[in-house]
Amino acid sequence: MGTRESVTRALEAIENSGRHYRDSLPMIASENIISPLVRKACNSDLHGRYAEGLPFKRYYQGCDDFDTIEDLGIISAKKVFNCTFANIQSTSGTNSNIGTLKALTKPGDTITAVSTADGGHISHARMGGVGVRGLNLITYPWDEDRMEPDIDASAKLIRESEPSLALFGQSVFLFPTPMKELADVAHEVDAKVMYDSAHVLGLIAGGQFQDPLGEGADVMTGSSHKTFPGPQGGFVLSKSEDEKFHRKLNSGIFPGVCSSYHLHHVAGKVISLLEFEEFGEKYASDIIANSKALASALASEGFDVLAEDRGYTESHQVVTRHGEKDSGAGRKAAKILEDSGIITNMNMLPGDTKALSPSGLRLGTPELTRLGMGTDEMQDIAKFFSRALISKESPKNIRNDIMSFKSNFQTVNYCFEPGPAYPGLD
Ligand SMILES: Cc1ncc(COP(=O)(O)O)c(C=O)c1O
């Protein structure tokens, strides 16, 4: 195939991917869609520009308008996240984490975090950011019933291991972290406290989850594209008044882990922050109402939904078990669901040891909610799950029904100019 044909094939695949999402139920907890105005910012000329430094202190000419944009964003981020320091440059949650680890630790330091097997993120692991910084990782004992760090055992671990930094937050995130209990213990041993809100940032900003910076975290990192519904990117946030600390955090991102920090995405983030000021609280509360409704409806259909004793979830996520540990049942279920028109991801559950053959699924409601679905639709979706995985109906039939169901939900909401969720497709 010549290069021109490859271009055509790549463009076709881009459109096909859009159609696949348009016609399916997008339920990956880390994904979302951007608003028309955010899309406009991301497609702007800023895509090709550079602006190293901070607003009004640049290494390049041509940045006056971008200074206005980034400055508006920092002001809005401080409001939205109720903090005194905001860096909006980082290009992802991972980038925010590595930049913050660079700012607050030295190679060889000890860090405590949630293990990936218990739902921690790869950037908290030796294979990821923690390894990049050359840190010694110790993971918290995990309370499987409560799906959170075991408070007493983790407090003991922090006291005994005296880490430089205690990191909290995870990718499987059903309930708020017991920050009040653990942040004080970390401060007792002079550890800095970092909370990774990648998944739950929009819920926190909407006042619907927990308030990590108010509960003792010195710094909060996060992604800008999960429950916070902006373009792909990251944030670093703090309530500290210490300007030296602010400088450290800023330089962790630039020059720590970025040169260009993708100005078009920062512009998109700024629009999404301003939209969040107006619509964020309602969006966050609707996401959680939907995940609670989905969890109960799935349990009524006969699915094994985790954390029944705690009411299944207080976040945007629902976690289901589909077979014995390490059985690969989660992988099989995710494939059947995708063939049926439901996009999810397999996930390790407590007890699983193999990331590629886990027993569970992690489901999310941020995108469904943004498309205008409410708790009634969550009942309909649980029935589609049941047809696919319990009645084992033909995936093709279910897919046709889901296409017709989804055709009623094609608009991005909770933004200034609601418009097509999947634009530019035939
Ligand atoms: C807890 C946690 N931190 C960081 C990240 C990384 O975020 P990003 O994909 O923006 O790099 C994720 C991704 O899902 C996550 O779950």
Nearest to 97 by CA among 135, 138, 64, 50: 135
Does the beta carbon of 194 sit less than 6 angstroms from any atom of ligand 1?
no
Q: Is residue 127 domain-shared with residue 234, that is, in the same domain?
A: yes
Hey, what's the torsion of the CAs at 373, 204, 28, 410, to 10 degrees? 30
In the chain, how long is the greatest CA-to-CA distance? 64
24 within ligand 1 shell (Cβ under 6 A): no
Of 231, 241, 234, which Cα lies nearest the Cα of 264? 231
Name the residue among 5, 31, 4, 3 with its Cα closest to residue 17.
31
The span from the CA of 304 to the CA of 171, in Å, is: 20
Instruction: Verify that 245 and 289 share a domain, yes or no.
Output: no
71 and 209 belong to one structural domain = yes
Q: Are residues 171 and 131 in the same domain?
A: yes
- Phi, psi dihedral angles at 192 (to 5 degrees): -80, 150
Q: Is the peptide bond before 255 cis (omega within 30 degrees of 0)?
A: yes
Give the Å distance between the CA of 390 and the centre of ligand 1: 32
Residue 417: the pLDDT is 97
**pLDDT value at residue 426:** 83
What is the domain extent for residue 262?
38-273
Does some domain include residue 179? yes
Token readout for 149 is 């760090």
Residues in a beta bridge with 110 = 136
Residues 383 and 257 grouped into a single domain: no
* Domain assignment of residue 103, yes or no: yes
Please, where are the H alpha helices in 120-175?
A: 129-132, 151-161
Based on the domain organization, do 147 and 202 belong to the same domain? Answer: yes
Give the predicted TM-score (pTM) of the model.
0.97
The C-alpha atoms of residue 242 and residue 246 are separated, in whole angstroms, by 6
Q: What is the mean pLDDT of each run of 10 residues along the chain (426 residues)?
A: 95 97 98 98 97 95 97 98 98 98 98 95 96 97 96 98 98 97 98 98 98 98 98 98 98 96 98 98 98 98 97 98 97 98 96 94 98 98 98 98 98 98 92
18 in any annotated domain: no
The answer to whether residue 21 sits within a structural domain is: no
Residues 245 and 283 in one domain: no
Of 238, 258, 273, which marks where a domain is finished?
273
Q: How far apart are CA 272 and CA 370, in angstroms?
A: 13
Closest protein CA for atom 9 of ligand 1 = 93
The answer to whether 198 and 222 have CB atoms below 8 angstroms apart is yes
Instruction: Tell me: do 302 and 403 sit in the same domain.
Output: yes
What does the pLDDT read at residue 230?
98
Same domain, 265 and 368: no
Mutate to test the pocket of ligand 1, among 171, 177, 253 (most ligand atoms within 8 A of CB): 171
218: CATH? 3.40.640.10
Q: Is residue 407 packed enough to be buried (19+ CB in 10 Å), middle (13-18) or exposed (0-12)?
A: exposed
What pLDDT score was predicted for residue 89? 98
Instruction: Give the model's pLDDT for residue 1.
Output: 81
Q: 362 has which bridge partners? A: 319, 345
Closest Cα to atom 12 of ligand 1: 198
Q: Are residues 118 and 261 in the same domain?
A: yes
H or E element at residue 21: helix 3-23
- Pick from 185, 172, 111: nearest CA to 142: 172
> What is the predicted pLDDT for the residue at 269?
98
Residue 312 has which token pair?
A: 């299944």
Q: Is residue 283 part of a domain?
A: yes
Residue 335 lies in a domain: yes
Do 203 and 309 reside in the same domain of the chain? Answer: no
Q: Is residue 2 in some structural domain?
A: no
Q: Say whether both 227 and 359 belong to one domain.
A: no
Q: Is the CB of 223 under 6 A from ligand 1?
A: yes
Ramachandran angles phi, psi of 400, nearest 5°:
-65, -40
CATH code, 365: 3.90.1150.10
Q: Quick one: pLDDT at residue 142?
A: 96
- Please state at what angle helix 179-188 crosses helix 151-161, rounded to 10 degrees: 20
Last residue of some domain: 273, 290, 317? 273
> 386 CB under 6 A from ligand 1?
no
Kindly give the number of the ligand 1 atom that is closest to the alpha carbon of 92: 10
Domain assignment present for residue 426? The answer is: no
Question: Do residues 361 and 317 touch, judged by C-beta distance below 8 A?
Answer: no
Q: Which residues lie across from 342 on neighbouring strands?
A: 25
- Which residue stretches of 240-374 are H helix? 243-253, 263-300, 329-340, 366-370
- The tally of CA atoms less than 13 A away on the side-chain side of residue 212 is 28
| Beta carbon of 192 within 6 Å of any ligand 1 atom | no
**Closest atom of ligand 1 relative to the 171 alpha carbon:** 16
pLDDT at 73: 98
Please indicate whether residue 123, judged by its CB atom, sits closer than 6 Å to ligand 1.
yes
Provide Rg for the chain, Cα atoms: 21
Of 243, 273, 303, which residue constitutes the final position of a domain? 273
Mutate to test the pocket of ligand 1, among 130, 194, 196, 345 (most ligand atoms within 8 A of CB): 196
**Ligand 1 centroid vs 238 CA: distance in angstroms?**
18
The pLDDT of residue 128 is 96
Q: For residue 112, list its beta bridge partners.
A: 138, 166
Structural domains of the chain, count: 2
Contacts of residue 407, Cβ cutoff 8 Å, sequence gap at least 6: none
